Amino acid sequence: MTLSTKIAWDDTVLPFQLDVPDMRGRIARLDGVLYGILKQHDYPPVVEALVAEMALLTALIGQTISLRWKLSLQVQSKGPVRMIATDYYAPEKAGDTARIRAYASFDRDRLSDGAPFDQVGEGYFAIMIDQGSGTQPYQGITPLAGGSLSACAEAYFAQSEQLPTRFSLSFGRSSEPGTAEHWRAGGIMLQHMPKASPFVASAEGEGNILSAADLVEGETGENWNRVNILLDTVEDLELIGPSVPPTDLLVRLFHEEQPRVYDAQPVRFGCTCTEDRVRQSLSIYSAQDIATMTTDEGVVTADCQFCGAHYVLDPKTVGFEADTDPSD
């Protein structure tokens, strides 16, 4: 039995534009990416669902940014799922594949039988953009509210970027005939173009957090409401099933809005951890600190939370007081 039947639009993000209402969007489908992320860990299904949703949001948002290096999404929570972290690494050059990685920290004995979002409590949802060496990283945060991680992302764009934004996501375990059960995810992101987002001074939503509805009025508001009504007709199988290509789905949903599509961006699971990066992360510690990290076997070990890679290092070669060059 194979893992899955590869579909042409699996693990891609398709950019599009709706010319009539002046909106842009993305359609994403993740399959192998989720397998790469989730096979590294023994997550309960409810945690897998949160990681799948977060990875899907990361793929959709990452492709909308003129990104030179890395976009990160993060949830910090006082609930059973304490943290979810994702990274999207931009392609190094045109035509290359973008990379996504993700992991979660949680207290297994505190998980409940409720919905995935019930597993996160009070906390915040953060988006961080790092354009690489010589630049100042950017971070924006919004409270965890709204009943889903996608609602948190919508609130972030309304509050921090003043951009009306909508996500429609589907994710879950697929059990197609002849394939092993595995996770699939698919979603659509809609966003009004920046020129249609005037400054708004106040909000009436939950916790006085801005929403997309606070940012649109008049003809812009009518366009936004109409396109959202059309998006509400999308079905889960259209987002994650094998029968409807993203281009056909766009025509089905928005044919009167004159959709235009651009080249799809392939994505894959990928981690950037290396032994050199592990050594660099340990370079802030003294020899005394390194001694406390040394095992009974006389080595320093480190595990990558994203990909599960295991590193074994000679304690004499790490820390700022290292007395041995590892290349010797």
CATH number assigned to the domain comprising residue 86:
3.55.30.10
Q: Are residues 210 and 258 in the same domain?
A: yes
**pLDDT value of residue 1:** 30
Which amino acid appears at position 174 of this protein? S
**pLDDT value of residue 177:** 65
**How many CB atoms neighbour CB 58 within 10 A?**
27
**pLDDT value of residue 181:** 80
Question: Is residue 90 included in any domain, yes or no?
Answer: yes
**pLDDT value of residue 273:** 81
Task: Find out whether 120 and 53 touch, Cβ atoms under 8 Å.
Answer: no
**pLDDT value of residue 203:** 45
Radius of gyration (C-alpha) of the chain in whole angstroms: 22
**pLDDT value of residue 178:** 64
Residue of 35, 52, 33, 50 whose CA lies nearest to 98: 33
Q: Are residues 233 and 293 in the same domain?
A: no
Rounded CA separation 300/312 (Å): 6
- The boundaries of the domain holding residue 312 are 275-317
Instruction: Name the helix (H) or strand (E) containing 28.
Output: strand 23-30
Task: Find out whether 54 and 149 touch, Cβ atoms under 8 Å.
Answer: yes
Q: 191 has which bridge partners?
A: 24, 165
Residues of the chain predicted below pLDDT 70: 1-6, 176-179, 194-208, 327-328
Most distant pair of Cα atoms in the chain: their distance: 70
Query: Is the whole-model pTM more than 0.95?
Result: no
Per-residue tokens: 298: 């006389």
Question: Is residue 2 included in any domain, yes or no?
Answer: no
Q: Are residues 304 and 168 in the same domain?
A: no
